[in-house]
Structure 1
């Protein structure tokens, strides 16, 4: 089969050709396309040269289609429809979109953010469903391999190919069970370090902000337990004298259980930044741009963020 070189061909002529074959009249085709009648006549001349065929020939009462034009009509309709579908696929209409959104997010963070995101979906994209996926050991790989659309987490550094956007900043607070013996006096640094601590390590690697701050002071604490998710930490803290230090919004979600007391940690800790991360290949995809706007809006609806903003 001979390969046709399209580099020198103006494919816009195919749109003109469809109008001419449908209308069988140069003036009506020009009006349909929003072009002048002389421009449509020039396009017809170019098409005749391109196809080496008259395409429209004189007949009773006007033009009729040549045999070549009649035979080309089905393929022409199909080609232009396929091109339209291809371009339409680059658009996104939330109201009619279907499928699933896959977000990497720690469990207690999902408690805080997911209800607000679901409310956004209900109003804007009611046919879209949401999957919350535990970040696991290699969450960045999940973004790189397309196993998730985006991630909401504490992200200190983003490797090449990963974009991120700040959602909000939070203070860290120390959470302990109600009636904990340490509540009998002020929570000084020495008393804080004498306690046994729980650390939530979603990935299982890296140091916690508390330990980094203590290291700068030449101090350490005993991390009695590391767990991979917040709910496990919360339930263990509720049933023991272990304490945990975590972002304030997550502490408030746990404190709704009325089993805890939240206190400021007795050391200077920088505010932590919760971020939204995604792979660069999703940067310009209309569906993903909408998703990022929805996540940001949901985060801004959080009481702590709204209060800080106001």
Structure 2
């Protein structure tokens, strides 16, 4: 039997899959909670599946719902692209854009928020940490509308996303501003003599690229703490004699509060990229914001042409 297509039901399912909460999904659709609950009953009958099951942290999608969600989001995105007016004005747009990114990259964008708010006063930006999310998790959230844009290392980008390489990040050794280590150049022996905290976004790792580089020289550092964010690591540095390996951009943004040194041994750089799903590829507000975001990195690249790096050298704030 052919089932009658009801676009409103599909929009309801898309909102429920995105919000995982009836109250928030109803607000998103500008409808009442009872009306949306009634639509969910009809959706369950249509698909002969519970679709979303109530849990302690909101609604949990069934395997059938997870199978449907990516195709549904793409379908709705294409439909909106068809009916959306050609003209887009950032001054009047009321879009909400959800950006997934590590906390180290949020910090580097702080100076841009006032500019974005002036250019698009009613667009809301939600920066969402990627802590403990792997590639499949990120892919699913991009497909189902829980994330609209990614700003992270290229290696974490799901393969089917559109991507734009915007920056190459190097790393430095960071100490608190009044740390007793006060040499002009940090050697490998100096680095290994310090006590370290490591940032592990996925949680629990005590090994980073610097450890592999030191091991090639028969050396090892002492890591006593593994934390999930650079914000926490920074606060630990402020209150201790610990050291940490930080992204250069983040470390420089903290100015004189930290004492910075080039690493005495080279480690791989990180390629930073902006990524987006096909469902937002043609969406005017999303396209506008990703162009703004990419432009921030292009301007930074022009302004911050790197000087010659001397291994272990003290880095002076500009």
Q: Work out whether the TM-score is over 0.5.
A: yes
Q: Do the aligned partners of residues 102 and 221 (structure 1) sit closer, same or farther apart at CA in structure 2, a change above 3 Å counting?
A: same
Q: Distance in 1 between matches of 2:153 and 2:80?
A: 41
Q: Do the aligned partners of residues 268 and 158 (structure 1) sit closer, same or farther apart at CA in structure 2, a change above 3 Å counting?
A: same
Shift of 1:102: 1.2
RMSD after superposition: 2.9
Q: TM-score, normalised by structure 1?
A: 0.63
Counterpart of 1:236 in structure 2 is 236
Counterpart of 2:199 in structure 1 is 200
Q: TM-score, normalised by structure 2?
A: 0.61
Q: Distance in 1 between matches of 2:142 and 2:218?
A: 37
Counterpart of 1:269 in structure 2 is 267
The structure whose Rg is larger is: 1
- The alignment covers a number of residue pairs equal to 223
Counterpart of 1:135 in structure 2 is 130
Counterpart of 1:106 in structure 2 is 102
Q: Do the aligned partners of residues 94 and 135 (structure 1) sit closer, same or farther apart at CA in structure 2, a change above 3 Å counting?
A: same
Shift of 1:296: 0.5
- CA shift digits 1:185-234 (9 cap, x unpaired): 74110221121211112222775332343345454322211111111111
Task: List alignment gaps of at least 5 residues for structure 1.
Answer: 1-82
Shift of 1:254: 2.0
Counterpart of 2:172 in structure 1 is 173
Q: Do the aligned partners of residues 286 and 84 (structure 1) sit closer, same or farther apart at CA in structure 2, a change above 3 Å counting?
A: closer
Q: Name the SS for the 2:92 alignment partner.
A: coil
Q: Distance in 1 between matches of 2:266 and 2:85?
A: 51
Q: Is the 8 A contact 1:234 1:254 kept in 2?
A: no
Q: Name the SS for the 1:308 alignment partner.
A: coil
Shift of 1:170: 2.8
Shift of 1:86: 5.0
Q: Distance in 1 between matches of 2:282 and 2:80?
A: 19
Q: Is the 8 A contact 2:196 2:242 kept in 1?
A: yes
Deviates more, 1:83-92 or 1:234-243: 83-92
Shift of 1:181: 3.0
Q: Do the aligned partners of residues 217 and 144 (structure 1) sit closer, same or farther apart at CA in structure 2, a change above 3 Å counting?
A: farther
Q: Distance in 2 between matches of 1:150 and 1:118?
A: 20
Task: List alignment gaps of at least 5 residues for structure 2.
Answer: 1-78, 307-318
Q: Do the aligned partners of residues 278 and 118 (structure 1) sit closer, same or farther apart at CA in structure 2, a change above 3 Å counting?
A: farther
- CA shift digits 1:47-85 (9 cap, x unpaired): xxxxxxxxxxxxxxxxxxxxxxxxxxxxxxxxxxxx999
Q: Distance in 1 between matches of 2:147 and 2:204?
A: 21
- CA shift digits 1:103-145 (9 cap, x unpaired): 122334212214315413422x221011111112116143233
- CA shift digits 1:241-290 (9 cap, x unpaired): 111111211001223xx332111111012332222122233333333222
Counterpart of 2:154 in structure 1 is 155
Q: Name the SS for the 1:204 alignment partner.
A: coil
Q: Do the aligned partners of residues 182 and 287 (structure 1) sit closer, same or farther apart at CA in structure 2, a change above 3 Å counting?
A: same
Q: Distance in 2 between matches of 1:252 and 1:85?
A: 41
> Are 1:307 and 2:304 matched, yes or no?
yes
Which of 116, 121, 140 is the aligned partner of 1:120?
A: 116
Q: For 1:1-310, what aligned pairs fall within 5 Å after superposition?
A: 86-89=82-85, 92-123=88-119, 125-138=120-133, 140=138, 141-184=140-183, 186-204=185-203, 208-255=208-255, 258-302=256-300, 305-308=302-305
Q: Do the aligned partners of residues 175 and 287 (structure 1) sit closer, same or farther apart at CA in structure 2, a change above 3 Å counting?
A: same
Q: Do the aligned partners of residues 150 and 187 (structure 1) sit closer, same or farther apart at CA in structure 2, a change above 3 Å counting?
A: same
